[in-house]
Structure 1
Amino acid sequence: PGSIPVTGILAQEPYYPPRKDLGNNYTSYIAASYVKFVESSGGRVAPIFINQDPEYYQTIVDSVNGILFPGGSISITNSSGYGMGVQLLYEAVVKKNLQGTYLPLWGTCLGFEAIMYLSAGMTNWLTICDSMNEAKPLGFEPGFRQSRLFTGVPGNILEALWQEKVTVNFHRWCMTRENLTASGLAEDFLLLTTNRDADGLEFVSTVEHNYLPFYGVQWHPEKNAFEWDTGHKYNNIPHSHTAIKVTQYFGNFFVNQARLNSQKFFSTEEEKAHLIYNYEPTDVSGFTGFNQVYLFS
């Protein structure tokens, strides 16, 4: 309430071999677009590192005002550092909310898939699909306007989401409508939008939890404003005036959700030690689908 919220963003192992020319013996990264997504809406970011003990993740959950699971190309099971991190964070965030502390959780693409996996009791109901480098409008479900996520969306942004290709997709796994129901997830999550992949398969593209402040998008709102064609085959990211407004709306929505949480780090010094300002982004546009990433040893 009135403070500048801190969102914890989980790192993950690089999907490409570490490169010596970057001058860093790194083991994980966070794409800078997720950091900018939060910062451009008035929030701050604390990177959450992988391969830490449960106490570390509990401290993060007790200190930040929101958690973001980013997209990427790594396992969502506990065979990866990312997968173990999302599991420990998810369990702690669920418990925190059930105990009465409002702590929002956002999942984008891989992060959305992780939320689906964990919410289904670590059972994988995802289906192989093909929606890489595809920009699409959203297919809205009946009742979407009654959701927390869309109840306040301005008419011009809603029209763009419905009629223009302003949501970009980069994923090889999908949650179908049928599996959302068969898994029991439809009892806990409100289906807000769907889309179809390159082969016509319908997939779930936006959800929110019925009573927990959990939000999942299979598409990438952060890319419209902060990722550009790097010559690395990803050239369909929309950058129109309305596409940028889409990024801003969803960034503002999540940061405003984080403002409803009043948690703080133990001290100003501890907070400073956790913030992303202790690190510098690295240009990786020559060989990845990102423009910049934060690299961590």
Structure 2
Amino acid sequence: METNYCIPFFTILIQLMSTVNSQLNCPATDPAINYRPVIGIVSHPGDGASGRLNSSSDVSYIAASYVKFAEMGGARVIPIIYTDPPEIINQKLNLVNGIIFTGGRTKKGPYFEVVKGIFEKVLEKNDAGEHFPLLAICLGFELITMIISKDNNILEEFSASHQASTVQFVENIKLEGTVFGRFPPALLEKMTTHCLVMQNHRFGISPEGLQANKDLCRFFRILTTSVDKETKVYVSSMQAQRYPVTALQWHPEKAVFEWGSSQIPHTEDAIQVTQNVANYFVSEARKSPNKPATNKLLDNLIYNYSPSYAGKVRGSFEEVYLFTPRPTLSSL
């Protein structure tokens, strides 16, 4: 009597194919979510290396750490070169799904006016129904504080240069929907006791200073405070009441991508803080419905530029993207 050994094999094969087919039938993606977000990062005057890379008066830069920060959240980047003509800047704003204002030093002149104009566009887009987030870091925090308060002298001096610090959450603050909303509870707790964030600023605003200005009070709610080297308390994180605008006095990008200062925390917990901030901001950008033509995106992405190694010449950053005015660059 013959035994058919093939039957069990074919039974197994059919079961395997059924399993594979079920795995291939992935759930449909949510049409309301933009899975290919693009972030605009505004360049800052200078070369990021005190003229050791480029001493031209009209050069501007973006530290590569901000670009990598956006990329680690799942976005691509378009540089918003502040020296570009206003029409080019406006056209680039229509290519992106969110904006980052970086750290730096300049608080006046053409740069301030460009940042102010972009900030107003961010609010306009949101008022018109387009979800368009902004993340303002360090100098960006200070600039929008000046813009909203309508007071260019509102900032106070603090001693928080090259300082890793904790953050203290405002009592009874609701974190849901904020930059900290999806942080693991254990990480939030560690942020209050471990120096997981990097501060590098000489100016800021105290909680009392913010609360004394009615425009700032209406616009922002304070999420966290920190103390400087002289134990003076300042606002370190705040979130807009009505807009997807987050302002951090500290630098979420540095823990992963910058190595020039021994004070920058590089612990696993500090890395997780960076990852969570990047994930939050890009998740906000995914809510933007803006999906411009591919060819316009490709012509303007940061991939059209090459970074320069600034760390080797004792620059403030490991890598920077340098930009000089070239009106014919964009094909918008």
> With structure 1 as the length reference, what TM-score do the two structures score?
0.92
Query: In the alignment, which of 114, 119, 144 is matched to residue 90 of structure 1?
Result: 119
Residue 52 (structure 2) pairs with residue 52 (structure 1): no
Residue 93 (structure 2) pairs with residue 64 (structure 1): no
Match of 1:119 in 2: 148
* Equivalences for residues 103-114 of structure 1 within 5 A: 103-114=132-143
After superposition, the Cα gap between the structure-2 partners of 1:158 and 1:51, relative to the gap in structure 1 and judged at 3 Å, is same
After superposition, the Cα gap between the structure-2 partners of 1:17 and 1:227, relative to the gap in structure 1 and judged at 3 Å, is closer
**Per-residue CA distance 1:204-263 (angstroms, 9 max, x = gap):** 00000001000000000000000013xxxx210000011100100000000000000021
**CA distance in structure 2 between the partners assigned to 1:291 and 1:119 by the alignment:** 32
**CA distance in structure 2 between the partners assigned to 1:45 and 1:154 by the alignment:** 28
- Structure 1 counterpart of 2:160, which letter? S
- Structure 2 counterpart of 1:159, which letter? E
**Per-residue CA distance 1:176-210 (angstroms, 9 max, x = gap):** 11110112212220100001111121100000000
Match of 2:5 in 1: none
Residue 228 (structure 2) pairs with residue 197 (structure 1): yes
**CA distance in structure 1 between the partners assigned to 2:122 and 2:175 by the alignment:** 26
Query: What's the CA shift for 1:155?
Result: 1.6
Gaps spanning 5+ residues in structure 2: where? Answer: 1-32, 325-332
**Per-residue CA distance 1:66-101 (angstroms, 9 max, x = gap):** 0000001222x3x1x431221110011111111111
Match of 1:158 in 2: 188
Match of 2:323 in 1: 296
* Equivalences for residues 162-177 of structure 1 within 5 A: 162-177=192-207
Q: Is the 8 A contact 1:105 1:214 kept in 2?
A: yes
**CA distance in structure 2 between the partners assigned to 1:2 and 1:62 by the alignment:** 15
Q: Is the 8 A contact 1:125 1:183 kept in 2?
A: no
Name the SS of the counterpart of 1:204 in structure 2.
Answer: strand
**CA distance in structure 2 between the partners assigned to 1:141 and 1:284 by the alignment:** 38
Q: Is the 8 A contact 2:49 2:317 kept in 1?
A: no
Q: Is the 8 A contact 1:8 1:48 kept in 2?
A: yes
Query: In the alignment, which of 124, 129, 132 is matched to residue 161 of structure 2?
Result: 132
Q: Is the 8 A contact 2:34 2:288 kept in 1?
A: no
Match of 2:208 in 1: 178
Name the SS of the counterpart of 2:158 in structure 1.
Answer: strand
Residue 237 (structure 2) pairs with residue 210 (structure 1): no
After superposition, the Cα gap between the structure-2 partners of 1:293 and 1:107, relative to the gap in structure 1 and judged at 3 Å, is same
Residue 303 (structure 2) pairs with residue 277 (structure 1): yes
Q: Is the 8 A contact 1:26 1:295 kept in 2?
A: no
Larger Rg: 2
**CA distance in structure 2 between the partners assigned to 1:199 and 1:136 by the alignment:** 13
**CA distance in structure 2 between the partners assigned to 1:199 and 1:48 by the alignment:** 37
Residue 280 (structure 2) pairs with residue 249 (structure 1): no
Query: What's the CA shift for 1:37?
Result: 0.3
After superposition, the Cα gap between the structure-2 partners of 1:260 and 1:31, relative to the gap in structure 1 and judged at 3 Å, is same
> Matched residues, percent identical?
35
Query: What's the CA shift for 1:41?
Result: 1.2
Query: What's the CA shift for 1:277?
Result: 0.2
Backbone CA RMSD of aligned residues: 1.8
**CA distance in structure 1 between the partners assigned to 2:231 and 2:90 by the alignment:** 42
Instruction: Report which stretch shifted further, 250-259 or 138-147.
Output: 138-147
Residue 219 (structure 2) pairs with residue 188 (structure 1): yes
* Equivalences for residues 6-17 of structure 1 within 5 A: 6-14=38-46, 17=50
**CA distance in structure 2 between the partners assigned to 1:132 and 1:177 by the alignment:** 19
**CA distance in structure 2 between the partners assigned to 1:62 and 1:41 by the alignment:** 21
Query: What's the CA shift for 1:4?
Result: 1.3
**CA distance in structure 2 between the partners assigned to 1:17 and 1:246 by the alignment:** 29
Instruction: Report which stretch shifted further, 250-259 or 2-11.
Output: 2-11
Query: What's the CA shift for 1:145?
Result: 2.4
**CA distance in structure 1 between the partners assigned to 2:114 and 2:284 by the alignment:** 22
Instruction: Report which stretch shifted further, 52-61 or 165-174.
Output: 52-61
> With structure 2 as the length reference, what TM-score do the two structures score?
0.82
Q: Is the 8 A contact 1:165 1:238 kept in 2?
A: yes
**Per-residue CA distance 1:105-139 (angstroms, 9 max, x = gap):** 11000011111111113543110111011111111
Q: Is the 8 A contact 2:166 2:195 kept in 1?
A: yes
Name the SS of the counterpart of 2:44 in structure 1.
Answer: coil
